[in-house]
Chain A
Amino acid sequence: MPFDLNLNLILGQMVLGLVNGVFYAILSLGLAIIFGLLGVINFAHGVFFMLGAFLAYMLGATLGIGYWGSLLIAPVLVGLIGIVVEVLLIRRLYKIDHLYGLLLTLGLALAIEGLIRIVFGQQGVPYPIPPSLRGAVDIGFMLLPLYRVWVVVAGIVLCLATWFVIERTPLGAKLRAATDNPAMVQAFGINVPVMLTLTYAAGVALAGVGGVMAAPVMTIDPAMGTNIVIVVFAVVVIGGMGSIFGSIVTGLGLGLLEGLAKATFPSASSTVIFVAMVIILVLRPRGLFGKMA
Chain B
Amino acid sequence: MLEIRNLHAWYGESHVLHGVDMEVPEGRVVSLLGRNGAGKTTTMRALMGLMGRTKGEIRFGGADLLRLRPDQIARKGIALCPEDRAIFPSLSVTENLFLPPVVAKGGMSVERIYELFPNIRERGSSRGTQLSGGEQQMLAIARILRTGARVLLLDEPTEGLAPVIVQQIARTIAEIKALGFTIILVEQNAHFVEGLADIHYLIENGVIVDRLEGSEFAAKIDRVDRLLAV
Chain A residues, Cβ within 8 Å of B90: 176-177, 179-180
Q: Which of A75-83, A123-131, A185-193 makes up part of the contact surface?
A: A185-193
Given contacts A177-B95, A188-B100, 9 further A-B contacts (CB under 8 A): A177-B91, A184-B88, A186-B70, A186-B74, A187-B80, A188-B101, A189-B71, A191-B69, A191-B71
Contact of A189 among B50, B75, B82, B88 (CB under 8 A): B75
Contact of A181 among B88, B95, B98, B101 (CB under 8 A): B88
Chain A residues, Cβ within 8 Å of B95: 170, 173, 176-177
A33, chain B: closest CB distance, angstroms: 13
Confirm or deny: B166 has a beta carbon within 8 angstroms of a beta carbon on chain A: no
Task: Tell me if A188 and B147 are in contact (CB < 8 A).
Answer: yes
Contact of A188 among B69, B74, B91 (CB under 8 A): B74
Confirm or deny: B157 has a beta carbon within 8 angstroms of a beta carbon on chain A: no
Q: Count residues of B near A (Cβ-Cβ below 8 Å).
A: 25
Question: Which bracket fits the contact residues of A?
Answer: 10 to 19
Confirm or deny: A174 has a beta carbon within 8 angstroms of a beta carbon on chain B: yes
A243, chain B: closest CB distance, angstroms: 12
Task: Tell me if A187 and B99 are in contact (CB < 8 A).
Answer: no
Q: Which residues of A contact B (CB under 8 A)?
A: 170, 173-174, 176-177, 179-181, 183-192
Confirm or deny: B86 has a beta carbon within 8 angstroms of a beta carbon on chain A: yes
Q: Is the contact region of chain B dominated by helix, strand, or loop, or is it mixed?
A: loop
- Would you give 13 A-B contacts (Cβ < 8 Å), ordered by A? A173-B91, A176-B95, A177-B88, A177-B96, A181-B86, A183-B50, A184-B88, A186-B71, A188-B74, A189-B100, A189-B147, A191-B69, A191-B71
Q: Which single residue of chain B is at the shortest CB-CB distance from A175?
A: B90
Q: Which residues of B contact A (CB under 8 A)?
A: 48-50, 69-71, 73-75, 79-80, 82, 86, 88-91, 95-96, 98-101, 103, 147
Task: Tell me if A192 and B71 are in contact (CB < 8 A).
Answer: yes
Q: Which single residue of chain B is at the shortest CB-CB distance from A36?
A: B90
Chain B residues, Cβ within 8 Å of A191: 69, 71
Q: Which single residue of chain A is at the shortest CB-CB distance from B102?
A: A189
| Residue among B71, B75, B79 with max Cβ neighbours from chain A (10 Å) | B71
Nearest first, the 7 closest Cβ-Cβ pairs linking A and B are A189-B74, A188-B100, A176-B90, A187-B70, A173-B95, A177-B88, A186-B70
Report if A176-B88 is in contact (Cβ < 8 Å); known contacts: A183-B50, A189-B103.
yes
Chain A residues, Cβ within 8 Å of B50: 183, 187
A195, chain B: closest CB distance, angstroms: 10
Chain B residues, Cβ within 8 Å of A189: 71, 74-75, 100-101, 103, 147
Task: Tell me if A183 and B70 are in contact (CB < 8 A).
Answer: yes
A267, chain B: closest CB distance, angstroms: 43
Chain A residues, Cβ within 8 Å of B69: 186, 191
Task: Tell me if B75 and A187 are in contact (CB < 8 A).
Answer: no
Q: Which single residue of chain B is at the shortest CB-CB distance from A188?
A: B100
Chain B residues, Cβ within 8 Å of A179: 90
